[in-house]
Amino acid sequence: MAEALGHPRYGYYTGRDPLGNDGDFITAPEISQMFGELIGLWCAVVWQAIGRPDPVNLVELGPGRGTLIADGLRAAARMAPEFPSALKLHLVETSPVLRDRQRQALAPIHPRIRPSWHRNLSSVPPNPVLVVANEFFDALPVRQYVRAADGWRERVVGLSPDGEHFQFLPGSVVATDPVPAAAAGGEGDLVEVCPDGNATAAAIGEQVASNGGAALIIDYGHSRSAPGDTLQAVRRHAFADVLDQPGEIDLTHHVDFEALALAASAAGARAYGPIPQGVFLGRLGIEHRAETLLKSASPDQAVDIHAALRRLVHPGEMGELFKAIAIAHPDHPPPPGFG
């Protein structure tokens, strides 16, 4: 999964912009400006609540086209004009194509905001920090373990007997128990573990606990660790075979929010949620924002605004499967939406 997505030459994210109607999938910030705006306001309100630190790092993990951060900064600057001057923007992104898109999206926003790019969190300097990640953790590679009679075996990828295709194969028995106790199932059960995701949540927890600040993670996934095969492939807005056309299809898994919360808490931070995306956006006032936009909308735009609102919050669309957790310094008040 790591190679298929991140290989420096053939990786899925390396050479393309996969987002949008003409691409493979669409994300919340690409559906409506309301999403990024509310998250930008969330950041500004947290910044005010923790004493307006200057400088403050604003870090986005996997910013895609930069739409969320551009919409967010535009909204935040209107509500808290001092916020843009205090912040240092750090974008964690491996894809050169998407780094370019992010540069373009941010250029018109604020002359003093010059982002710096990182391959991961470890090179971001130690300051109070606000972290935002939408649909980032689902793209980090998972390991899958199957419970056999003699212990946990990793499910590995090998070649079919004719050498023409990839196929799943049972690996050898793993010496140390790889699976969180909460997910331990019976024989035949498959459990996923995302070491990069857990390490990233731990790094966020550490930064927040030692320098102050908060993080907001939004993704699709489950509230509790549990057995289940959630690895999936998408191409042109339809499901595909996960082993077919590596590097040409998007691979993701459902995020285990309990594992992320545990990793962040073990590092000294406090985790809140998860709560469903629809509930979270409702608490931040998305209905109110939609009403304001509708006042100056053409009839066609009004149809789009109603459709986007429904798509983001309705439980049958993205409102329930997508969830939000916050990670904050234990002495800070609960972040907006989690109180």
- Pick the binder of ligand SAH from 135, 219, 256, 258 (CB under 6 A): 135
Residue 197 tokens, joined: 């995701």
Residue 29 contacts ligand SAH per CB under 6 A = yes
Coil, helix or strand at residue 114: coil
Residue 139 contacts ligand SAH per CB under 6 A = yes
Residue 247 contacts ligand SAH per CB under 6 A = no
* Interacting span for ligand SAH (CB under 6 A) from 27-35, 208-216, 271-279, 304-312: 27-35
- Pick the binder of ligand SAH from 1, 13, 80, 192 (CB under 6 A): 13
- Closest approach of ligand SAH to the CB of residue 253, in Å: 12
Can you spell out the DSSP letters for 173-217? EPSS--S-GGG---TT-EEEE-HHHHHHHHHHHHHHHHH-EEEEE
Which phi and psi (to 5°) does residue 263 adopt?
Answer: -65, -40
Cα angle for residues 207, 212, 215 (degrees, 5° grid): 65
Q: Are strands 87-92 and 166-173 parallel, antiparallel or unpaired?
A: unpaired
- Cβ atoms within 10 A of the Cβ of 10, count? 13
Cα angle for residues 105, 290, 222 (degrees, 5° grid): 75
Binding track over 67-86 against ligand SAH, x by CB under 6 A:
-x------------------
Residue 12 contacts ligand SAH per CB under 6 A = no
Residue 115 contacts ligand SAH per CB under 6 A = no
Residue 51 tokens, joined: 């004493």
Burial of 99 (0-12, 13-18, 19+ CB in 10 A): middle
- Pick the binder of ligand SAH from 37, 93, 219, 258 (CB under 6 A): 93
Residue 92 contacts ligand SAH per CB under 6 A = yes
Residue 24 tokens, joined: 């493979």
Residue 230 tokens, joined: 């959630």
Residue 66 contacts ligand SAH per CB under 6 A = no
Task: Return the number of the residue (127 or 200) whose C-beta is nearest ligand SAH.
Answer: 200
- Closest approach of ligand SAH to the CB of residue 13, in Å: 4
- Pick the binder of ligand SAH from 50, 98, 202, 204 (CB under 6 A): 98
Q: How many residues does the chain have?
A: 339
- Pick the binder of ligand SAH from 42, 47, 136, 137 (CB under 6 A): 136
Residue with the CB atom nearest ligand SAH in the bound state: 62
Residue 134 contacts ligand SAH per CB under 6 A = yes
- Residues lying near ligand SAH in the complex (CB under 6 A) are found at 5-6, 13, 19, 27, 29-30, 62-64, 68, 92-95, 98, 134-136, 139-140
